[in-house]
């Protein structure tokens, strides 16, 4: 799968914020049952993805030719 992130910093911030909010909602709505534990874990995972997106700073460019 070829998953490409938005190139603009603004779009990436919006995406990261959306994912973080989604993770928070999942954690919030998870009921105190075993299926709820799975939802809670999913929420934590989504939060981590959101945080990674927020801090991922064009690292893919590090492999490209230097270009002044």
State yes or no: residue 35 binds another protein (CB under 8 A). Answer: no
25 vs 6, 29, 53, CA distance in Å?
24, 6, 18
| Residue nearer to another protein on the CB measure, 37 or 61 | 61
- Nearest distance from residue 67's CB to another protein, in Å? 4
**Helix, strand, coil share (%) of the chain residues, nearest 5:** 70, 0, 30
Cβ atoms of 53 and 19 within 8 Å: the answer is: yes
Closest separation in Å from C-beta 50 to another protein: 21
Q: Which of positions 44-63 make contact with another protein (CB under 8 A)?
A: 57-58, 61-63
What residues line the site for another protein (CB under 8 A)?
7-8, 57-58, 61-68
């Amino acid at each position: 799968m070829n998953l490409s992130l938005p190139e603009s910093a603004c779009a990436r911030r919006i995406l990261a914020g959306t994912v973080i909010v989604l993770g928070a909602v999942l954690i919030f709505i998870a009921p105190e049952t075993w299926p709820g534990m799975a939802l809670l874990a999913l929420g934590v995972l989504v939060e981590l993805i959101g945080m990674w997106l927020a801090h991922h700073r064009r690292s893919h460019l590090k492999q490209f030719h230097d270009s002044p």
